[in-house]
Structure 1
């Protein structure tokens, strides 16, 4: 108990200090997110990964909080974080990032308890959740807030299964994300980047799989979805939206949950709080169902609520209409084209 409090406090302070220290190097190296209103450095995830790995590794090395089989989860997560860091520094195609995440997931799934078919499904789900957390990082404080809530929920499930090493790892991760959020709340001074968001999503999804290994597949699917309802709903919304619009699935755009809620008039802080409440509701249902305190239909209602949200926000137009260039005859330029040309000359001058 005392070690858990000390480890969490250390991770929080270490992540807060490292996040502040890594902001300038990220700007100098050009590791910034330019899709926002202003360039935001992306090394916040490096601080979270370092804080979580150092504190959890120290507990394992000293024997105070041995990770046991969870050590391979931490190593695989660090590998995913390294892949994300490369993507932050250089242009890497999304399919390579997702492929590397799938390889790491295949190395941590407990096939002896899940079986091969369910294990392969778990690999796909881990990649799905990791991609969902990466997508949530586009809004200030959203990925970190959802990550903290999910870490506490999965940690409670791990504690109920007597997976003490996993519970400590998740508490350390939640504390590291809290330290990062000190710098990520709107207006964000730094973001997680692919390094941190992939790491967080990978560790949380893999930990959830460990807590549900040995249970029946049907109820496990419901619990796992409830624990990650917001990230999953965001991915489903984006894929459906781009499919209906005829856009490539891996092409970025202003079509996520937070983007659409902002178009309804919510502030950045209000959007984060609202989605945080939604995440807490889903996580609470998932934990209670895992403990057997609510019926298995609880996850169904979470899925129904997520579906209603997705279908409702899908009606909000987020893609601009493409402009068609009109070339009037050179011999007789139209009055409208002269006015447009004059306007352009004024702006260039």
Structure 2
């Protein structure tokens, strides 16, 4: 117990420190979020990954809080996914490449002895999908970090109920690291998550949820897993539906996510993070209650109904009047602004 508290505090402080220290090098190297019109370096994810791996790894190495064989493999696979995301932050990679790489990592952490081959493959596909959806949720200040913290606490509570101490420790460390990152990512953000951090967080959260639900029947597990990740699932469904209705490619980026549409309804950037975070808290709470047996499994249908109403309501929100600036153009403009500001400072 005491180690868990100490580890969480260490992860929070380390992530906050690293995010602040890495910001200037990120600006100078041009590691910027290409979806933003202002220079926001994507070093927050690096800070979260390093803080989580170092603190959780220290507990494993010292023997004070061993993660266990399966959890250690999960953390290693998550680090591999983070490395792939970092490559995507530096050099543009197709979403299919990121999805395929994440799926391969997921295949390495699924407990086939309990799920079977078919169930394990389906679980790996779900993990990869959630990680990709979590990356897509990183389109507004404080959004992905807030949902990540709430989800980590929820899945961690489920792990504690199953006496999976290694998973619970890992998720408490991840939640603390995400909180430290949010100190710099709350609007106006000074650092962004990037593919490195968002894929890592989504992968660890989804993989941990699968481990927690191992041994339960497939139907109830699907409901609990959906409730724990309802917000990212709703965002993904909203984007796919909106783009198909508009006759656009699903893979083409655009301002049609949850955060974008809530902003058009008049919410501020901070208001969007609070509203979406509250929705995540409600759905995750249902997932925890159903997993623990404190609520009937039919409660998940209320979560599904709420998500459906939100998606159908937001899909009717009209798009922004101004066309989005192409990605490459935004990146060039931002890099030029950064270089110009640095020249002025040096002069």
- Fold-level similarity (TM above 0.5): yes
* Partner Cα separation in structure 1 for residue 88 and residue 25 of structure 2: 16
Alignment of 1:20 onto 2:7: no
* Partner Cα separation in structure 2 for residue 238 and residue 56 of structure 1: 35
Q: Normalized against structure 2, the TM-score is what?
A: 0.91
Aligned to 1:110: 111
* Partner Cα separation in structure 2 for residue 86 and residue 37 of structure 1: 22
Residue-by-residue CA offset, 1:236-278 (whole Å, 9 max, x unaligned):
1001111111211111100000100000001111111000000
Give the superposition deviation at 1:292: 0.4
Aligned to 1:327: none
Aligned to 1:39: 39
Alignment of 1:143 onto 2:144: yes
Aligned to 1:310: 311
Residue-by-residue CA offset, 1:151-209 (whole Å, 9 max, x unaligned):
00000000111110110000000000001110000000001100000000000000000
Q: CA RMSD in A?
A: 1.1
Give the superposition deviation at 1:37: 3.4
* Partner Cα separation in structure 2 for residue 74 and residue 44 of structure 1: 18
Secondary structure of residue in 2 paired with 1:181: helix
Aligned to 1:225: 226
Distance 1:110 1:137, change over 3 A: same
For these two proteins, the number of residue pairs brought into alignment is: 322
> Any residues of structure 2 matched to 1:197-236 within 5 Å, and which?
197-236=198-237
Give the superposition deviation at 1:123: 1.1
* Partner Cα separation in structure 1 for residue 37 and residue 91 of structure 2: 21
Aligned to 2:171: 170
Give the superposition deviation at 1:27: 1.0
> Any residues of structure 2 matched to 1:93-108 within 5 Å, and which?
93-108=94-109
Q: Normalized against structure 1, the TM-score is what?
A: 0.91
* Partner Cα separation in structure 2 for residue 285 and residue 10 of structure 1: 30
Give the superposition deviation at 1:138: 1.0
> Any residues of structure 2 matched to 1:80-99 within 5 Å, and which?
80-99=81-100
> Any residues of structure 2 matched to 1:1-349 within 5 Å, and which?
1-68=1-68, 69-318=70-319
Give the superposition deviation at 1:320: 5.2
Residue-by-residue CA offset, 1:109-149 (whole Å, 9 max, x unaligned):
11111112221111111111111110111100010000000
Flag the structure with more relative contact order, 1 or 2, with Cα contacts below 8 A and sequence separation at least 6.
Answer: 2
Aligned to 2:331: none
Residue-by-residue CA offset, 1:203-228 (whole Å, 9 max, x unaligned):
00000000001100111111001001
Aligned to 2:327: none
Aligned to 1:329: none
Structure 1, unpaired ranges of 5+: 323-349
* Partner Cα separation in structure 2 for residue 37 and residue 308 of structure 1: 32
* Partner Cα separation in structure 1 for residue 37 and residue 304 of structure 2: 33
Residue-by-residue CA offset, 1:282-332 (whole Å, 9 max, x unaligned):
00000000000000011111011000100111111216598xxxxxxxxxx
